[in-house]
Amino acid sequence: MPTADDTSLPAAEVAKASIIVEDVSKEFRIRRTHSFKETFVEWLKGRDVRPNHFRALDDVSFTVNEGESVALLGFNGSGKSTMLKLMSGVLEPDTGQVLIRGRLAGLIEVGAGFHPDMSGRENVYLNAAILGMQKDEIDARFDDIVAFSEIEEFIDQEVKHYSSGMFMRLAFAVAIHTELDVLLIDEILSVGDGPFQEKCQAKIKELSAAGKTMVIVSHDQDLVRELTHRGIVIRQGKKVFDGPTEQAIDAMLAG
């Protein structure tokens, strides 16, 4: 992982930065056909079977300072989730770099680390450990995690018997109770029913008030207005606006 020494930004800017995204581009290969056999047949016919490259992000740069809450805005397919995955380290940029200071928690693929044959309790320990917590830290927060998820009676059941809502509640509760400096959130605020969503939003506001850095992807404009002060608009992989949230929403809609 690159460090803050690898950036060409001025030292004063780096000092207050929590996230630095510098000249980042990312391409995906798109296959023209679905199987090897189809590709082979196309090739025999003399057709071009090389994969197309699709540029999901094109030379994007921005800095998020410590304690800022920023929304990534854009229509479907503009590159927001790809950007979050680059920040979380799930994906590597083709060019450029992403620098993060501090402990990062991503509410991106919530529950991805959950094991269906293990109980809720075992999964809490497993996932909190994956997110970087020590056993004694998890012990100390276990009751809060379970209380937040509101699935106390089912905590010793295997999670394969959970409803999808119960599963997401527990996964969200674990992620949000980890020791973190930077939180990445991708559309996760649609987890669970109305009251649970409100609780999640309140928790996110609490973390923000405590000075945590947040990057949020959501199509819910009211939520974005409420949780962030700044918006970065991405259109077809390019950053087209970076400024106050309300103006960013206007810029996105004008696109």
Taking the complex as a whole, how short is the minimal distance between the CB of residue 99 and ligand ATP, in angstroms?
20
Judged by CB under 6 A, the residue of 18, 63, 69, 82 near ligand ATP is: 82
How many whole angstroms separate alpha carbon 180 and alpha carbon 152? Answer: 24
Taking the complex as a whole, how short is the minimal distance between the CB of residue 59 and ligand ATP, in angstroms?
15
The residue (of 6 and 23) whose beta carbon lies closer to ligand ATP is 23
Does 239 sit near ligand ATP (CB under 6 A)? no
Taking the complex as a whole, how short is the minimal distance between the CB of residue 1 and ligand ATP, in angstroms?
21
Judged by CB under 6 A, the residue of 80, 101, 169, 199 near ligand ATP is: 80
Window 3 to 32, contacts with ligand ATP (CB under 6 A): 28, 30
CB 240 within 8 A of CB 255: yes
The residue (of 74 and 93) whose beta carbon lies closer to ligand ATP is 74
Cβ partners under 8 Å of residue 10, min gap 6: none
The residue (of 72 and 175) whose beta carbon lies closer to ligand ATP is 72
Does 56 sit near ligand ATP (CB under 6 A)? yes
Location of structure tokens 């590159």: 79
How many whole angstroms separate alpha carbon 79 and alpha carbon 146? Answer: 34
DSSP per residue, 96-135: EEEEE-S-EEEESSTTTT--TTSBHHHHHHHHHHHTT--H
Going by DSSP bridges, is the β-strand pair 238-244/230-235 parallel, antiparallel, or unpaired?
A: antiparallel
Q: Which stretch binds ligand ATP (CB under 6 A): 3-11, 77-85, 95-103, 220-228?
A: 77-85
Does 79 sit near ligand ATP (CB under 6 A)? yes
How many whole angstroms separate alpha carbon 145 and alpha carbon 142? Answer: 5
Taking the complex as a whole, how short is the minimal distance between the CB of residue 81 and ligand ATP, in angstroms?
3
How many whole angstroms separate alpha carbon 214 and alpha carbon 184? Answer: 6
Q: Which stretch binds ligand ATP (CB under 6 A): 74-82, 109-117, 133-141, 244-252?
A: 74-82
CB 115 within 8 A of CB 36: no
Does 74 sit near ligand ATP (CB under 6 A)? yes
Taking the complex as a whole, how short is the minimal distance between the CB of residue 76 and ligand ATP, in angstroms?
3
Does 76 sit near ligand ATP (CB under 6 A)? yes
Does 78 sit near ligand ATP (CB under 6 A)? yes
Window 35 to 54, contacts with ligand ATP (CB under 6 A): 54
CB 114 within 8 A of CB 123: yes
How many whole angstroms separate alpha carbon 196 and alpha carbon 187? Answer: 14
**HSE of 244, CA atoms in CB hemisphere, 13 A:** 2
Interacting residues with ligand ATP (CB under 6 A): 28, 30, 54, 56, 74, 76-82
